[in-house]
Amino acid sequence: MEKSISIPTNDGHVIHGTLNWQEPQSKKLIIFVHGFGSKQSRHLFFNGARFFPQNGFTTYRFDLYSPQEKGRNLIDCTITTHATDINTVVDHFCSEYDEVYLVGHSLGGPSILQSAQKVHAVVLWDPSLVLEDAHMDGWVYDDTRNVYVRKRGVEKVMNTKMYDEWKNSNADMIEKMKVPTKIICAGSSPRAERWDAIIDKVAVPYEYSIIDGAGHSFDEEGKEEMLFDETLTYLQQFSA
């Protein structure tokens, strides 16, 4: 089953998302949070919205920015903006579900950790860290527009506040962890090496794993399935 659900924000925008479930509808909800320049229809979230309902969870995936009515524009967003919207989504659903979980990919990781995390547990898929990440390489300041630009086939633009927040989101991310957390890194991504260096500083109960041969988006054959299986196994331990 599938239903579009739009959630108003306190500053006049609208968060557009999609709820997926199987009957009888599970009261365990996974909220997916996408990364920079991504959207709810990318394969990790689209396929996740099929896999997890088949395994006892309802899912909600949403766009942090959207061309739909009153959707945000990426150029106006910061990590703090994303965190505030995550809080809005969690608050919208928390009274309807017995268990709520956050699952974030890439920049979805820092965005979740900046949020209140009023959930049972968090799973981070190859979460971003600091500016030196390969993902951040290639960003060049454009003083005519006062933005950072990266050209890799498609030009992407980031405002200076977002850039500064991301640049400084290293080990302090760990201090912002509030609930049990599973970190799953992609073995072919530079983020795995960076998480290796700081993972021992995590103060909340956590699990950490690396999927060998996986790239940042887990596009390789069989890697998405491994990612989903690890996530499911972790979340099931919290289920009543």
Report percent pLDDT > 70 for the chain. 95
Determine contact, residues 198/136, Cβ cutoff 8 Å.
no
pLDDT digits (tens, 9 = 90+) for 194-228: 899 889 999 999 999 999 999 999 999 999 999 99
Mean pLDDT within 156-177: 84
Residue 34: pLDDT over 80: yes
List the CATH number of the domain containing 80. 3.40.50.1820
Give the model confidence (pLDDT) of 92-102 as tens digits.
999 999 999 99
Q: How many domains, in total, are found in the chain?
A: 1
Is residue 137 one of the residues assigned to a domain? no
Report yes or no on 162 lying in a domain: no
> Rounded CA gap, 59 and 22, in Å?
10
Q: ω into residue 24 within 30 of 0, thus cis?
A: yes
- Looking at the domain assignment, is residue 72 inside a domain? yes
The range of the structural domain enclosing residue 73 comes to: 2-131+171-238
Round to whole Å and give the CA distance between 83 and 40.
Answer: 16
Could you tell me if residue 83 is inside a domain? yes
The model's confidence at residue 134, banded by pLDDT at 50, 70 and 90, is very low
Report whether 177 contacts 202 (CB < 8 A): yes
- pTM for this model (two decimals): 0.96
